[in-house]
Amino acid sequence: MNKEKVICKCYHVTKGDVAEAVKAGASCYKDVKKATKAGKACGKCKKRVKKLTKKLVKGK
């Protein structure tokens, strides 16, 4: 996983940020959204963030 890859352009949230949020206890998209703001603006990244969150939570 490229941690530097921006997954949410509106808030400049990277894949690494999402991974951090999951590490810190986020277990679903809603938690990640709260922690990183990903998806709070245009919402275009929602699907991507959801998918990545699921993957990361599974791999925990």
Closest distance to ligand FES from the beta carbon of 43 (Å): 5
d(CA 58, CA 43): 23
Identify the residue among 34, 43, 47, 51 touching ligand FES (CB under 6 A): 43
Determine the Cα–Cα distance for residues 21 and 28; give it in Å rounded to an integer. Answer: 10
Interaction between residue 18 and ligand FES (CB under 6 A):
no
Stretch that binds ligand FES, among 17-25, 26-34, 35-43, 51-59 (CB under 6 A): 35-43
Identify the residue among 22, 45, 52, 56 touching ligand FES (CB under 6 A).
Answer: 45
Report how far residue 56's alpha carbon sits from residue 43's, in angstroms, rounded to the nearest whole number.
20
Collapsed DSSP state (helix, strand, coil) of residue 60 = coil
